[in-house]
Structure 1
């Protein structure tokens, strides 16, 4: 077996304040990326504060007592750099890419905005309208609608993963500057944060710069995560569907609850199982349902793993009239795999695909920074190398056992988004049949 590549960063540090720092110099790079990760997102929000993590992400860019609104963007973009942010269920992160020579001048702006967000009331009201518009746009995004339908169906309203990270118009109207500031003080603290810097950097100089800008102590008490309800398990087949006027083909998602990130070995095995079933033209489901039978326009398989639970998901785009036979075929292929297992060649193909996908996702400083930050925030950056090693260790029998354990043909979740026109057509056919 060929020697596995080493992906772990060259330098990892934990400052006295609790801040984690990951530095990865790329000598040939002229740019540097800084990615600041915070261990809070949708799962930490009580229902009445739904969307507060995402709203706070917006407000961080509105300055501090020493930083005017928009000054962060001007300081970075004025030097030809880029900056942005994102919020998920388990994290919020802020990143910038600049010329490596500009890092000492630009990092203080990012640190000031992230650590000491001012959240002025007048900017809160302006940005509230921006986020409301984002929610309205999401309500017309077919991919977002289908994903949210799946999460609501699989997790339910009692679990944070079943609620939208963006929040709702009603919840957004209840978020005040005082709440945003309190949430910021409770979570944007060194012990809940990781700073990743990659690119054309000197590790010692960069560590000193990060410690100077991010290494100060937090003020006030830390917040802790509220206890979450257990991940629900479907009893039988739990089916939910909706319609959309702009949709031309149905979007089908079948999902099975799996494991949290704590079960890391199983997480890696489920990734392999997903690749065997639905990653690439020669995978089982793509080859059978799209290439051979032409019953689907697109099909794929994925293993979604969050901090407090996961879903194994099969997604397909298809005509409404093909839904019954496609769902039946999916279940048949799963039962076939559970009975007969997989071949060594299938497993080797899946191994190669996942290994190369990971390597390709770490080719640039910005990709590296995101990869390190994500892993360190959710499961620990040391798991990155373990992932590659575990991919090589699984046997066909172990993949079969995972399919038997988690993919029950009698208990799963179905989320279906159909073209609205299909309802009208069905009603018309029913009227004709009744005459």
Structure 2
């Protein structure tokens, strides 16, 4: 086993199986957040089986060879913890938040969920109905539907990023036991997973527990599916829907998670549309009252990224708000960034980062995502130093690189075009 220090109180260990363990000790904490992340999300769903990664996440909670669903719930409740899971575009993760003295129980449960689900055919049929209801609820959410349609437009329906994480009815109805077993065997391999534990614990103790509960017998290697980088497609699209509000998504390219431009672009984005002091909020909501929700954010993946602006408006204001957003884009590009706006944006981002350090589950997510996306885990101090180093010039250079007005994609969903 190999153990190395990442930074003060943070460690990485590699078990003989290839499983990575990341630990951040928080001595003042009396609780812990523990999770297992799999480098496999909806982008790994096979063609025609959209939603399979999410389906497997659901099935894991139905039980294993040694625990049924009731036992899983009871054991977690007995240590005063909370157990849950989620599927994203690039990962699936199972996590628990609990008092520190229940860690061994939590890690045993997490190992069972990830490595030993029973996948009983009757469970598959039962959970299929649950997921179909989830899809119906998903379809009834206009903002979520708008985002899914935007994803299809911007990735042209060809890349896995164009698919909804929860899948579609046709795909879910066709999922069989063989599909579930094949996907689990391919993705839920020790060297394609990472266990992360943060909080009031000792790293050596965590590693000892992990060696015990995440022990796996050697199995024949199955190739992990290769990924194809997404290609951003500009365009203008309208989807007519009987909604009371018009949903606007405007996107452009953004850097991958590990790129040096990411933090300068985050600063530029904070000026544009992050929070109530941002230009979009002040100009469109506060000054004109044309939207309740208007914001922008950067979403970076392991091999691609997108810079998104969203607004929800009355249908008759759709064209006006799109024009105002575009005007703010043009202003960002044509004018230097004022020092006072830069300082405010950096203060906001610095605050977000520091406040996140007070949350064990935030610490765990930060470590896991950094590891899965680019295998480069930076200390909070290093990230703060990179943020402090952003200047008006570097933030403007980053936004000019990615905010190209001839290469934006606009999707509107609602009754008015």
TM-score, normalised to structure 1's length? 0.89
Say if 2:409 is the partner of 1:413: yes
Segments of structure 2 that go 5 or more residues without pairing to the other structure are 1-5
Deviations, residues 159-214 of structure 1 (Å, cap 9, x unaligned):
00011111111111221112211211111111111111122212212210111111
The equivalent of 1:431 in structure 2 is none
The equivalent of 2:3 in structure 1 is none
Deviations, residues 304-362 of structure 1 (Å, cap 9, x unaligned):
11223111111112222222222122222212221212112111111111111122223
1: CA distance, partners of 2:225 / 2:55: 18
Alpha-carbon spacing, 1:217–1:359, altered in 2? closer, same or farther (3 Å): farther
The equivalent of 1:313 in structure 2 is 308
The equivalent of 1:361 in structure 2 is 356
Alpha-carbon spacing, 1:100–1:313, altered in 2? closer, same or farther (3 Å): same
1: CA distance, partners of 2:8 / 2:400: 33
How far off is 1:260 after superposition? 2.2
Q: Is the 8 A contact 2:186 2:225 kept in 1?
A: no
Q: Is the 8 A contact 1:256 1:413 kept in 2?
A: yes
Q: Is the 8 A contact 2:26 2:201 kept in 1?
A: yes
Q: Is the 8 A contact 1:59 1:124 kept in 2?
A: yes
Please give the secondary structure, in 1, of the residue aligned with 2:164.
coil
Count residues in correspondence.
411
Alpha-carbon spacing, 1:377–1:70, altered in 2? closer, same or farther (3 Å): farther
Deviations, residues 229-253 of structure 1 (Å, cap 9, x unaligned):
641332xx422323244xx332211
Please give the secondary structure, in 1, of the residue aligned with 2:261.
helix
Q: Report which of the two structures shows the higher radius of gyration computed on alpha carbons.
A: 1
Q: Is the 8 A contact 2:76 2:82 kept in 1?
A: yes
Segments of structure 1 that go 5 or more residues without pairing to the other structure are 1-5, 424-435
2: CA distance, partners of 1:378 / 1:41: 12
TM-score, normalised to structure 2's length? 0.92
Q: Is the 8 A contact 2:36 2:196 kept in 1?
A: yes
Q: Which 10-residue stretch deviates more, 54-63 or 24-33? A: 24-33
Give the one of 231, 240, 243 matched to 2:241: 243
Alpha-carbon spacing, 1:240–1:388, altered in 2? closer, same or farther (3 Å): farther
The equivalent of 1:430 in structure 2 is none
Please give the secondary structure, in 2, of the residue aligned with 1:164.
coil
Q: C-alpha root-mean-square deviation of aligned residues, in Å?
A: 2.1
The equivalent of 1:165 in structure 2 is 165
The equivalent of 1:3 in structure 2 is none
Say if 2:141 is the partner of 1:145: no
1: CA distance, partners of 2:111 / 2:24: 19
